[in-house]
C-alpha cells in the first residue's frame, strides 16, 4: 500500500473533475435524471481501519445494480450452489437489460449481475422471506458490512423505477413463462426496485464492500470460497458488455450501477467506492471508471 495514498486520491480528483465530458445521467429512471452530473466522490477502506476519501464522498447516491452483489451473497447463503440451476455464470456480452439470450437459453439468465439474473436472485430470496423481510434482511446485511446503521431505501427512486420499469416487467414475465420465476412478476420486481433504490455514500459503500476483501481487519460475513467466487463474477460480469474493457483497463473485480457508482475490490488489500453520475453509453460511470483506472495504475493494485 503506498504511503501517499491520500495524495494519489487528491491528484485523481483534480485530474478527472477537470474533464469536460462527464457522460450522461441515466434518464430512463426519471428520479435519477435529476442528479447533478458534475459530482464526483471516491473512498478507499483499508484493513488497518483507515478510510481515505476525496470529493463528494459523503453524498448519498442510488446504488442501483451494485445491490446485486449484496443480494447474490444473501441468496447463496440461503440456497448455496442450488442457485446455479436457475442462473448462469457467464458474461452476457449484451446490455444489462437485454432479453435476447433468454429465449434461446430457456429463461436461464447468463449471470446474476444482468437485470434478468438479479431478478431471479431476488425471487430466490423471496422463497424464504416476504418482500418486507427480504428488504429488511438486505439493509441489515449492508449496515452490518458497513458498520453504519444510517443506510436507507429511497422510496421516490423505487416508485420512479416501478412507473417506467416495463423492460424489467417483460424480463420477469418472460422468465415466468419458462418456469424460472416462482412469484408473480409484480411481487419480485417490487422487491427488486426497492433493493436498487438503496442509497449510500462512497464512504458507506467502501465500508460495506469490505466483506469481499478477505483480509484480517475486514468483516467476515461469508466464507472465503464464496468471496473468491463473487469476486470472479464481478470481474467477468460486473460491467455488462463493458466487463472485458474494465478488466483490461483496471484489472480488479468491480460492480457498477446506473446511479454512477462502482464498487471495486482489491483482494486482501482494499475496498474502493467511486461515484460520478454521468455514464458511458454502456451504463457505467464515465469519470468513475477513469478514476479507478488511474488509481489502479498509481497504486499498482491489480489481481494480475
Clarify whether 28 is annotated catalytic.
Answer: no
Among positions 98, 115, 276, 299, the unique one binding ligand DON when judged by CB under 6 A: 115
Residues 119-158 vs ligand DON: string with x where CB under 6 A? ----------------------------------------
Alpha-helix residue ranges (DSSP H) falling in the chain: 5-17, 30-33, 67-79, 100-104, 115-125, 131-146, 155-163, 166-177, 185-196, 202-208, 224-237, 243-249, 286-299
Q: Is 273 exposed, middle or buried (0-12, 13-18, 19+ CB in 10 A)?
A: buried
The catalytic residue among 87, 120, 162, 240 is: 240
Q: Cell triple for residue 186?
A: 409484480
The catalytic residue among 16, 69, 120, 258 is: 258
69 lies in the site for ligand DON, by CB under 6 A = no
Grid look-up 412507473 returns 163
Clarify whether 223 is annotated catalytic.
Answer: no
Clarify whether 152 is annotated catalytic.
Answer: no
Q: Is 149 exposed, middle or buried (0-12, 13-18, 19+ CB in 10 A)?
A: exposed
Q: Is 285 annotated as a binding residue?
A: no
Among positions 31, 56, 123, 161, the unique one binding ligand DON when judged by CB under 6 A: 161
Pick left, alpha or beta for residue 70 (phi over 0 → left; psi -120 to 50 → alpha; otherwise beta).
Answer: alpha
Q: Cell triple for residue 207?
A: 465500508
How many residues of this chain interact with ligand DON, rule: CB under 6 A?
13
- Strand-pairing partners, residue 272, are 44, 264
256 lies in the site for ligand DON, by CB under 6 A = yes
In angstroms, the CA 276 to CA 227 distance is 26
31 lies in the site for ligand DON, by CB under 6 A = no
257 lies in the site for ligand DON, by CB under 6 A = yes
Nearest distance in Å: CB 33, ligand DON: 13
Q: Which residues sit at the interface with ligand DON, rule CB under 6 A?
A: 64-65, 96-97, 115, 161, 168, 196, 256-258, 283-284
Binding-site residue set for substrate: 65, 115, 161, 168, 192, 240, 258
Amino acid at each position: 500500500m503506498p504511503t501517499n495514498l491520500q495524495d494519489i486520491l487528491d491528484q485523481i480528483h483534480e485530474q478527472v473533475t477537470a474533464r469536460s465530458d462527464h457522460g450522461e445521467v441515466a434518464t430512463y429512471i426519471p428520479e435519477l435524471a435529476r442528479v447533478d452530473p458534475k459530482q464526483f466522490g471516491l473512498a478507499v477502506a483499508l484493513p488497518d481501519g483507515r478510510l481515505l476519501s476525496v470529493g463528494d464522498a459523503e453524498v448519498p447516491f442510488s446504488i442501483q445494480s451494485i445491490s446485486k452483489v449484496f443480494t447474490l451473497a444473501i441468496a447463496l447463503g440461503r440456497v448455496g450452489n442450488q442457485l446455479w440451476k436457475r442462473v448462469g455464470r457467464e458474461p452476457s456480452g449484451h446490455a444489462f437489460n437485454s432479453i435476447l439470450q433468454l429465449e434461446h437459453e430457456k429463461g436461464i439468465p447468463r449471470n446474476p449481475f444482468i437485470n434478468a439474473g438479479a431478478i431471479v436472485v431476488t425471487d430466490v430470496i423471496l422463497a424464504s422471506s416476504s418482500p418486507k423481510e427480504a428488504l429488511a434482511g438486505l439493509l441489515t446485511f449492508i449496515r452490518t458490512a458497513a458498520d453504519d446503521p444510517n443506510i436507507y431505501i429511497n422510496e421516490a427512486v423505487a416508485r420512479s423505477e416501478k412507473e417506467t420499469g416495463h423492460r424489467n416487467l417483460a424480463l420477469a414475465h418472460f422468465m415466468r413463462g419458462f418456469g424460472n420465476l416462482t412469484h408473480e412478476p409484480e411481487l419480485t420486481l417490487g422487491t427488486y426496485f426497492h433493493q436498487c433504490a438503496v442509497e449510500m455514500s462512497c464512504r458507506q459503500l467502501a465500508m460495506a464492500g469490505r466483506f469481499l476483501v478477505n483480509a484480517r481487519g475486514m468483516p467476515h460475513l461469508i466464507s472465503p470460497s464464496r468471496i473468491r467466487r463473487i469476486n470472479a463474477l464481478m470481474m467477468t460480469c460486473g460491467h455488462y458488455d463493458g466487463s472485458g474493457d474494465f478488466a483490461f483497463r483496471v484489472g480488479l473485480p468491480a460492480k457498477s450501477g446506473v446511479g454512477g457508482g462502482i464498487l471495486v475490490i482489491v483482494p486482501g488489500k482494499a475496498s474502493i467506492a467511486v461515484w460520478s453520475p454521468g455514464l458511458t453509453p454502456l451504463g457505467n460511470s464515465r469519470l468513475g471508471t477513469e478514476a479507478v483506472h488511474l488509481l489502479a495504475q498509481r497504486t499498482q493494485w491489480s489481481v494480475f
